[in-house]
Amino acid sequence: MVHLSILHARIITPTGVIEDGCVVIRDGKIHQLLPPGAALPDGPVLDAGGNWLAPGFIDIHVHGGGGYDFMDNTIEAFLAIARLHARHGTTSMFPTTLTSELSDLYATIECYEKALSHGHDGARFLGLHLEGPYFSKEQRGAQDERYIRNPDPEEYRAIRQKTAHIRRWSAAPELPGALAFSDFCRSNGILPALAHTNADYDQVKAGVQHGYRLATHLYSAMSGLTRRNGFRIAGAIESSLLLDEIDVELIADGAHLPEALLKLVVKVKGKEKIALITDAMRAAGTSVKQSLLGSKSSGLEVIIEDDVAKLPDRSAFAGSVATADRLVRTMVQLAEVSIPDAVYMMSTTPARIMGVADTVGSLETGKNADLVLFDDDIRIQQTFINGKPVL
């Protein structure tokens, strides 16, 4: 049974754009991609009006939105965040934690497990991203210093035993025990990512050899060029740009990174190695001027100004208030990449990094009908998850 045909669309596919094309959806999957003028199967039709039709956006690093944080540890929070970001084009996400009390982390894991069994009309959950607590205190950013510590095998093994849904774990590779930790992650199907790190080039290289293959929010809370006895030493930023094994995340909200750095990363890494992330906290999608980073019970107070979250003393950013459509728009308007290339960084590269490219991340027959329809200014017209419109 044909569920929907979307016609008169500029369809972004892995091999190029089909102008005035049609996508036929059947049983929640992409059934056909048709050229202009092709005969349509019977069934409902949606006229895209010449707008762009792209694979749904995949956010591999997101903390909250719509006034909620995943670490509020309620089903209401999980589902509200999923709905908010779906309205902005996100069809899949990896709920992300913060450095916290171990009991709070366990509560988030338990809530995630419960949320999976709830039917909802928002972005689907594809696994957990644990951000911390194994970080450098010198590069803590807005992470709560009280809970930062070195990797503890007894602890991380116990956390893994709580759930099979951890897909990624961000840590600082230079810490004592961090290489053994990454070995453990790899053996359990978890992607180790370098984050909040003060590592130098040699330490990053050692991390890569043990599985650190993703740089969490490049430039943010990450060491750069330093001097040691007068000699220049490359930091985690330069190492991530240089080493081909490392993919990078960009918070492309127009605040975390200026035009020059966005263009530099695109020039060096290319769309195939860049994943756009919101790193959104609870204030995303709201108009509040004060908020919390993390849970309502133990989160850090932040202010919202200049379209970004900041610590009250303005010493550091404290997460973004962006949605995925804003990231794509920023890359097009500020970094001057094409719309298909920006979409690639928001869909195809994240899917490949997280190992889900067999079902999502590109418009190809047989994949999930996760689609987003938007105009030339990246204003979302409609999001589809499994072929069903998000209301």
Q: What confidence score (pLDDT) does residue 144 get?
A: 86
Where, residue-wise, is CATH 2.30.40.10 in the chain? 2-53+377-389
Distance CA 217, CA 240 (A): 11
Distance CA 106, CA 310 (A): 27
Q: What confidence score (pLDDT) does residue 319 get?
A: 87
Q: Where are the alpha helices (DSSP H) in the chain?
A: 75-86, 102-116, 153-162, 178-187, 201-209, 236-242, 259-269, 324-333, 339-346, 348-353
Q: What confidence score (pLDDT) does residue 377 get?
A: 98
Tell me which DSSP letter residue 355 carries: T
Q: 57-359 falls under which CATH superfamily?
A: Metal-dependent hydrolases (3.20.20.140)
pLDDT tens track of the chain, all 391 residues?
A: 568 999 999 999 999 999 999 999 999 999 999 999 888 888 899 999 999 999 999 999 999 999 999 999 999 999 999 999 999 999 999 999 999 999 999 999 999 999 998 877 899 999 999 999 999 999 998 888 999 999 999 999 999 999 999 999 999 999 999 999 999 999 999 999 999 999 999 999 999 999 999 999 999 999 999 999 999 999 999 999 999 999 999 999 999 999 999 999 999 999 999 999 999 999 999 999 999 988 888 888 999 999 999 989 998 888 899 999 999 999 999 999 999 999 999 999 999 999 999 999 999 999 999 999 999 999 999 999 999 999 7
Q: Where are the alpha helices (DSSP H) in 118-212?
A: 153-162, 178-187, 201-209
Tell me which DSSP letter residue 2 carries: E
Q: Are 191 and 214 in contact (CB under 8 A)?
A: yes
Q: Are 349 and 272 in contact (CB under 8 A)?
A: yes
Where, residue-wise, is CATH 3.20.20.140 in the chain? 57-359
Pick the CATH number of 2-53+377-389 from 3.30.1490.20, 2.120.10.30, 3.20.20.450, 2.30.40.10: 2.30.40.10
Residue corresponding to tokens 């895209």: 48
* Main-chain dihedrals φ then ψ at residue 199, nearest 5 degrees: -65, 150
Q: What confidence score (pLDDT) does residue 2 get?
A: 64
Residues belonging to the active site: 279
Q: Are 162 and 118 in contact (CB under 8 A)?
A: no
